[in-house]
Amino acid sequence: MTDWTVHTAGSTREEVACARCSGAAYLTATIPHPGWDSPVGRRFAGSRTIALCPRCDAHDPASQGLLAYFAIHGEVTADTADTFAVLVRAWVSAPRPTGVDPRVLDREIEAWHRDPNNPE
């Protein structure tokens, strides 16, 4: 069994939502979180969920292969599953930050204090 799990829309056309834009995503994947050290020195890991969204990831280099795949094929089929597997493996393995830059967060916090409805 692999470390990661992909959730696609599937043949029942179930919607997979992108949390960034609330629109339909092609798929989401649960991938390992890089992990952290606990106070007693042990290393623990969890998982994270990422989404492939045609709008939000349009300019993400790591997503281009899969976006092209879905643009051409629309969905995962038996004929193209091999290609899909290679692309999705590359996509989930691409390096990506796990959290927000603290300075950026600080700016958002200040904005929130100025206007609790608008932390931006």
Partner 1 sequence: MLDGAARMKEMFQEANRLGMPAVAVTDHGNMHGAYDFYQKAKAADVTPVIGIEAYIAPASRFDKKRIFWGTPAQKRDDVSGNGAFTHMTMWARNAEGLHNLFRLNSLASIEGHYNKGRMDAELISRYASGIMATTGCPSGEVQTRLRLGQVQEAYDAAARYQEIFGKENYFLELMDHGLEIEKRVRDGLLEIGRKLDLRPVVTNDSHYTYAGQAEAHDALLCVQTGSTLSDTNRFRFEGSGYYLKSAQEMYGVDGSDVWQEGCRTTLLIAERVETAGMFEFRNLMPRAQLPAGETEESWFRKEVWAGMDRRWPAGYDDARRQQAEYEIDVILKMGFPSYFLVTADLVAYAKGEGIRVGPGRGSAAGSIVAYALGITDLDPLQHGLIFERFLNPERVQMPDIDMDFDERRRGEVIRYATEKYGSDRVAQIATYGTIKAKAAIKDATRVLGYPFALGDKITKAMPPAVMGKDIPLAGIFDPAHPRYGEAAEVRNLVDNEPDVAAVMKVAKGLEGLVRQLGVHAAGVIMSAEPLIDVVPLLQRDSDGTIITQFDYPTCESLGLLKMDFLGLRNLTIIDDALKNIEVTTGKALDLLSLPLDNRPTYELLARGDTLGVFQLDGGGMRQLLKLMRPDNFEDISAALALYRPGPMGANSHTNYALRKNNQQPIVPIHSELEQPLEEILGPTYGLIVYQEQVQRAAQKLAGYSLGKADMLRKAMGKKKKEVLDKEFVPFQQGMRDNGYSDDAIKTLWDILVPFADYAFNKAHTAGYGLVSYWTAYLKANFPAEYMAALLTSVGDKKDMMALYLAECRAMGIKVLPPDVNDSLGPFTPVGKDIRFGLGAVRNVGENVVLSVVRTREQKGRYASFEDFLTKAELAVCNKRAIESLIKAGAFDGLGHTRRDLLANHDSAIDAVVGLKRQEANGQFDLFGELSGTNEDTKVVGLDLVFTGQEWPKKEKLAFERDMLGLYVSDHPLAGTEHILKANSEQVVSEILGEETPDRKPVALAGMISSVTRRITKQGAPWAIITLEDLTGSVEVLFFPKSYEFLGQHLIEDTVVRVAGHTSVRDGAISVFGQDMAILDVSAAIAGGEPPVVLNLPLDRITPPFADDLARVLQSHPGDAPVQMRVRRPTGGSIELACHKFRVNNDQAFRSEVKALLGAGGIE
Interface ranges with partner 1 (CB under 8 A): 1-2, 4-8, 10-12, 14, 18-22, 28, 30, 33, 35-36, 38-39, 42, 44-51, 78, 81-82, 84-85, 88, 97-102, 104-105, 108-109, 112-115, 117-120
Q: Cα dist. 61→3, 16, 20 in Å?
A: 23, 22, 18
Instruction: Find the shortest distance in angstroms from Cβ 39 to partner 1.
Output: 5
Residue type at position 66: L
Instruction: Find the shortest distance in angstroms from Cβ 26 to partner 1.
Output: 13
User: What is the C-alpha separation between 104 and 12, in angstroms, rounded?
Assistant: 40
User: What is the C-alpha separation between 85 and 49, in angstroms, rounded?
Assistant: 18
Measured from the CB atom, the residue of 39 and 95 that comes closer to partner 1 is 39
